[in-house]
Structure 1
Amino acid sequence: MAFANRTGGKVIIGLQNDGTYNGKAEYDVDKLKGDINNIIRDKISPKINYNFEFLECVQGDLSIISVEKKIDIPYAYIVKREGHEIKNRIYYIRTPHGKRLVSNQELSDLFKKKLKYNVIKLNEEKFELKPNLKLINEYLDMIRNSKLSRKNLIPMLNKIHNEFVKISYKEDISEDTLDIITNYAKTVNKYILGKDNHILRIITGTIRLFVLNQKLVNLIRKENYRDFEKLYESDNKNNEIVLILYKCGKFVRKSLIAFE
């Protein structure tokens, strides 16, 4: 996971740091592969792709685990899960000195790199992904004006999120798009302090996209900041909430006060 969040890499089992072989494998290779699959399934989000090779060499056996660089959102280690719901996650990167937790700024940069995929190339021509603003507006109207069940609300929020992914980081945001983002921030605010963590996780993921665009930070600070601050002060300190508060200036302001 730490490799994937940086540049990718390999883990080689069977070699010493000086390049000498450990000898013949004294472990069950199939069990090792099973353990890796279990870790990826239960402890890493989203699912990470890897390649496993087992080499029987004259000097000794090698197990090589190759991990590619992330191509979408950064990989997280799942600290706590309740059923299918992830309650807390942390992020690591690989450095020359080993793995370490990412800082808030590094986490922000890792998510920004996802934006490179908002423009795709097909037959040597560039096509810009465009959000369905009409769909977003229709869903927001339903969420605001109807008493939706949890079963109906969650798919709507997910679809809205998928549309917002296409526009959140654009340099130039149209007035129509800004109005819809404002509409979203106001509409979902009542759910931030609700007791449904699944709904909160979707909303937090969407607003996290917004605060990575500096032009939208003031909007989120005005509409949603106070409720996210209440969550943080109630000991809900997952990385996405920390990132939102950080981008809105919470920790920066505290640091400045400390030096005054």
Structure 2
Amino acid sequence: MALSTATDAQTLRRDLPVPPLTMRQIAAEADAVLLQYAERFDVAIEAPIEIEDIVGSLMGLRIEFERLEEALGEGVLGALFMRDRRISIDESLDPEIYPDMRWRYHFTLGHELGHWVLHRAFVLSPAIQKLLFGDESLPEIVCRSHGSRPRIERQADQFAGCLLMPEWLLRPAWRRWLGHDDAVCDAEVCESVGDVDLSRFADLLGGDRKLSEMRVRREMFCLPLAKQFAVSDEAMRIQLEQLGLFVARHQPRLF
């Protein structure tokens, strides 16, 4: 495979053809990291997950803030330098400067850690390293906040969700919050959230507007859980959907 331009090289760094993984496999990898952290440091795993400590103390990865968009292009919020054992985060997510971005920062760290855990052996293999020729100061993986989501990015997103919101913590939290284990349907979400000024979310309401409006309402509904787990309401909504705890409508019971 020949790469003709620097743009081609950047695209490859984001679209590496990693092998498929099931959600169960990804969750098992995330659980293994949490178990290792608990055993090594003799701590109980509870929400919110100590993602910075896991990245730094357990995995031995440095976290640095840089102007990634200036260096690597528009929409780049995270990059992983595997050979340097370094995660680079765009300065716009620095929680010391922008406290409101802490939840996005946590997920970005979890996402980059997902690349480290799930993809390190693949990316550092001789065959892939031969493709990633060029300036060795460039990260092996570049992550953008917009555009298509290739498999490698979807897997890292799923890992971050499973690490920061593991099912075995999230389901009990759901039960304590709502008083039951059942999924919540969209009608119940609308009743709970009440009237919403959706004009405030105009930038989110592209494509299927009806579906997008429901996503906004679901995110407003699950905000208390998002705060408990120190993640964004969007990340929490996606994880609850993955676990089947948000449904469009309840299926009729046979008995």
TM-score (norm 1): 0.27
Q: Which has the higher helix share?
A: 2
Which has the greater radius of gyration?
A: 1
